[in-house]
Chains A and B, each alone.
Chain A
Amino acid sequence: MYDYRVGKQDWMGAGLPTEGTNTERPRLVDVVHRDVPTCSLGERLGDVRDRVVATGWDACVVVGRERVVLGLLRAAELQANPELPVERAMRPGPSTYRPFVSVAEMRRIMTERNLTSSPVTTSDGKLIGLVRQQDVGID
């Protein structure tokens, strides 16, 4: 007998598939972009901005060990002094969302808080990817 003590929230928080009636409703795991720009605290902001622009994104997630999310660089932050280290330019500790959150709920949240993009993470804070407004049906 084994006890999966951290339970269903851990499984769903990792974006792993489930069965049941909720799977019929789209969730962030269905729309999240996994291949997104990332950077580390000590990088030069100007170098990160150049890399982000080349990918076509307007945001970059600051990650530490094991891709734990530490901060976010959105368009405004990316325009700061390019000589700054990322750590001084970023928005620390951004709100993050789990992959099992419904698209409808995320649409409401992003509209209320005027979020252009938001990190999706596991329950232990590791980056899965980003969702943008257009991914949740906001024009």
Chain B
Amino acid sequence: MAREIDRDGVRRLMEEGAQIVEVLPAREYSEDHLPGAINLPLRKIEADASRVLDPSRPVIVYCWDTA
């Protein structure tokens, strides 16, 4: 179960080397994304996450907003 985190928490974890994952479609990701974020669209996340992400580092996922 993912823990909810706020903006300050994201910045803190970024400094500690967390992996940032945007789950929006590629076009939206290419226009704007958080610094250092990678793109794992939601429909691909189950298939690709274990291959792409480092299990030893925290992972932060985000979308556009709460919708």
The chain A residues found within 8 Å of chain B, CB to CB, are 1-12, 14, 16-23, 100
Quote the shortest CB–CB distance from B34 to chain A (angstroms): 6
A3 to B34, CA, bound (A): 14
In the complex, chain B residues whose CB is within 8 Å of the CB of A22: 31-32
A100 to B64, CA, bound (A): 13
Residue pair A1, B61 in contact (C-beta under 8 Å): yes
The chain B residues found within 8 Å of chain A, CB to CB, are 1-7, 9-10, 13, 18, 22, 24, 29-37, 58-66
Show 16 A/B contacts (Cβ-Cβ < 8 Å), sorted by A: A1-B2, A2-B5, A3-B62, A4-B60, A5-B5, A7-B62, A7-B64, A8-B62, A8-B63, A10-B65, A11-B10, A14-B7, A18-B32, A18-B34, A19-B37, A20-B32
In the complex, chain A residues whose CB is within 8 Å of the CB of B58: 1-2
Quote the shortest CB–CB distance from B46 to chain A (angstroms): 13
Question: Apart from A2-B61, A8-B34, A19-B36, what 15 extra A-B contacts exist at CB < 8 Å?
Answer: A2-B9, A2-B58, A2-B59, A3-B61, A4-B7, A4-B61, A6-B7, A7-B63, A9-B65, A11-B7, A11-B34, A11-B62, A12-B32, A14-B7, A20-B30
A10 to B3, CA, bound (A): 17
